Structure 1
Amino acid sequence: MGKTILITGGARSGKSGIAETKTLGLGSRAVYIATAEAHDSEMSDRIAAHQARRGAEWVTHAEPLDVVGVLKATDGQGPRLLDCLTLWLSNLMFAGRDWQAAGRDLVAALQAQRDPVVIVTNEVGGGIVPENKLAREFRDAAGLLNQWVAAEADEVWLAVAGLPLKVK
């Protein structure tokens, strides 16, 4: 079974950079599974900045919904970086998909991988209780999904101010 590494942290904590370094440390060629979609110019700029930071050693698969399918299709091609779990969750929720079933499918797929998978996610439980129902549902879903993946992961890291702190 391939190693699973989960990297969590707040916004702009440095988690993606840490994840990229860890992924490339597992193999000279890596697969980047991007879940973000550019619905506005600000998100387009964020995606472009991520792409500019990566070099030729990355093969990118943009997939907002079928993360499990991409993991299965790319197993055997080297380490994979899934960035990010929380964007994938929001994509699933807005598409009306059953995020719990998808999360269980992801955990099962991680157990079957031969090559390593590094996963980036946002830590969303450290702030105040959101004032609206949708935001509370998302926070709760993200917390549960993070717990499920963390339980499966071989390593869990918390990114704080660009520094990785090993949790598991």
Structure 2
Amino acid sequence: MEDNAKVVMWNPTNKRFAFLDQSGNAGKFLTTDGNEVYWSSAKVNPVFSAPTFLEATTATRLSTTRDAYSSFSFDGSTTITTSGGQGITAVLTYADNEAMTTNPVIVDSNGFLSIGIDGLSQVHTITVKGFIPAGKYRQVTFITTKTGTAALPAAPASIKSSQEVLQ
């Protein structure tokens, strides 16, 4: 490793560390293929974006040549009744096609279930994040659940925060 280099990011998909040089500029990659470790002079030019709710929940191909790291947070709201509880789960998935039906892979899922005090309304932040391989489509979907005879809660309709970085 270079003197004073800092690890920027580990990508488990392609097993690559990105390093910054002493000036904070993108430098070399340390890449592993099985037992081989080698250096390449490829430059890191990360591209940052903050997708809207519609962009996050619509199947989107971010790049055909570059992996991406995606992170999304949503606020989910529930109201507890004596007849049961409510829950919301966000799921970040990638697939080979825009319909999200060919080789889908769940990258991350997170959610909550609220039960307990009658009439209590709660807001929970749900965050999903992970690496999306180059050429894949990614999408966030929601699963709403209930217990007893409670009504299903509404899925989130807005995004709290988002960030995507093309590597």
TM-score grouping bracket, smaller chain normalisation: under 0.3
Larger Rg: 2
Bigger relative contact order, structure 1 or 2, given CA contacts below 8 A and separation 6+? 1
Comparing both structures, which one devotes a greater share of its residues to helix?
Answer: 1
Comparing both structures, which one devotes a greater share of its residues to strand?
Answer: 2
TM-score (norm 1): 0.27
